[in-house]
Structure 1
Amino acid sequence: MEAIQKAGEGADGTFAGQAAIVTGAGKGIGYEICRQLARRGCAVTLNDIDASLAEQAAENIRREGGNCIAVAGDTADAAFLQEMVQRTVTAFGQVSVLVANAGITLFGDFFAYRPEDFQRVMDVNLKGSFFLTQAVAAEMRRQGSGGRILLMSSVTGHQAHKYLAAYGMSKAALEMLAKSLVVDLSPYKITINTVAPGATLTERTAEDPAYEEIWSRITPMGRPAVPADIAAAVLFLVSPVAAHITGQSLVVDGGWTAISPPPEP
């Protein structure tokens, strides 16, 4: 696993002169995306709802030589999203990449799922991603030099997963949003795509002692993903080499959706 986690070492200046916003990035997948972008020359605004976590994560990236600022706040708050875009432009002069990674998972039995839980999932996963995309795309249009937008989906937007009806619905909707916005964004040379991670070893999933064993057994490639696997897919889609790819979703799940065996409860 060590070699996988070091994916991207010896990185180049692919994103030199660019500036990115990455949400939900205090740890896990979002943090690794920030880290890999910064290692390739990108200035990064790192967002998380937890202010201390965001600042520590940004400091870690700065210690590695990256240009990174922390902007803490709730991505379900449309006013905050506008503020974050403006703070990015003030700090770096532009925004050329957006990775809307922030999202929440609230498990629950469909028959007992609470309206307040449903609303929170939709506010963060859908409303936040929609209006952040709107704010960033408007700035990219004003700048006139194109841009890259990436929305974070999930395999649960492709395959049913018990207790995740609301979450899976929100992720499938993000993929339709990306397809829909091809019409609006392509005239301004802005691409928009989604990445749909499968089971991934993060600080959160590591809290389940059975997680790695279960997903290693039911994933065709023999292991769950690590954050570097997802970051690699994201960096491809927001890089210059993906300039003609838009409205697409890339599943990164070690083959799980091809056979879809359910995990044990």
Structure 2
Amino acid sequence: MDFKGKVAIVTGAGQGIGLEICKQLVLQGAIVVLNDIDSQLADNAVKSIGGKQSNCIAIAGDSSDLSIINQMVDKTIADFGKLDIVVANAGITLFGDFLTYTPASFFKVMEVNLGGSFFLAQAAANQMRKQKNGGSILLMSSATGHQAHRNLAAYGMSKAALEMLAKNLVIELSPYKINVNSVAPGATLTERTLKEEDYKKTWETLTPMGRAATVSDIAQAVLFLVSDKAKQITGQSLVIDGGWSSVSPSPYKE
């Protein structure tokens, strides 16, 4: 896939899936604006990709904050003249039993996972409409938006909602040649998940394909959906979970 001349924004990209998406986009010739709420992570991520020679810059800040969203889009246009691709990858997981889940946790999950993605897509779409050349928007869902998972009622709800947003935006954005899709990763080996005890071993047992996904597995699917090869694909969600959601064994011991 050739991304030469393309300009992308990727949120939540200081590490894990987001960082790998940035690396792969840059490798294929894109210019990338990398966002993370942690400024140190964002700066280190850019350095790991290759610094200034890599056509990757960092903008730190909360991706659910409208001022940061506008800053990302404005900076992208000021520095690079256009915006072709947006990957709304930033999200948070706040585990908790439904019967005792707090309003603070609920609204934080919705603010980041839904609000941040919704308003980034809105800002990007308005810019792409001005450019009159179309564009691609990718929303990061989850396999837990397809199958119930203990202690993730709010999170799974937010991820399922993002897939409905992708469908709805087909109506709103297709006239401007903007395609919108979502990717729903299952268990994936990242810096965060590998801190969980026996995560890798557990998901090797539960996943029909015999392993958890790698960040590269997810990034390669994302790159396809935001590439020119996928322009006729819109309003779709691609589940990448090694078959787990087909059989849905629980990782929890009853």
Please give the per-residue CA displacement for 1:107-161, whole angstroms capped at 9, x wherever unaligned: 0000110000001000000001000000000000001110000000000000000
Distance 1:199 1:56 in 2: 25
Contact 1:58 1:69 (C-alpha < 8 Å) held by counterparts: yes
**In the alignment, does 2:229 pair up with 1:241?**
yes
Query: How much has 1:83 moved relative to structure 2?
Result: 1.1
Query: How much has 1:61 moved relative to structure 2?
Result: 1.1
Which structure 1 segments of 5+ residues have no match? 1-11
Please give the per-residue CA displacement for 1:209-257, whole angstroms capped at 9, x wherever unaligned: 3000000000000000010000010001000110100000000000000
Query: How much has 1:64 moved relative to structure 2?
Result: 9.7
Q: Which residue of 1 aligns with 2:94?
A: 106
Q: Which residue of 2 aligns with 1:145?
A: 133
Mapping 1:73-152, distance limit 5 Å: 73-152=61-140
> What code does the residue aligned with 1:148 have?
S
Q: Which residue of 2 aligns with 1:254?
A: 242
TM-score relative to the length of structure 2: 0.98
**In the alignment, does 2:5 pair up with 1:17?**
yes
Q: Which residue of 1 aligns with 2:17?
A: 29
Query: How much has 1:174 moved relative to structure 2?
Result: 0.2
After superposition, the CA RMSD in angstroms is 1.0
Query: How much has 1:164 moved relative to structure 2?
Result: 0.1
**In the alignment, does 2:170 pair up with 1:182?**
yes
Which structure 2 segments of 5+ residues have no match? none
Contact 1:201 1:212 (C-alpha < 8 Å) held by counterparts: yes
Runs of 4+ in 1 over 6 A off after TM superposition: none
Contact 1:218 1:261 (C-alpha < 8 Å) held by counterparts: yes
Distance 2:31 2:61 in 1: 19
Mapping 1:55-66, distance limit 5 Å: 55-63=43-51, 65-66=53-54
**Identity in percent:** 61
Query: How much has 1:65 moved relative to structure 2?
Result: 4.9
Aligned length: 253
Q: Secondary structure at the match of 2:129?
A: helix
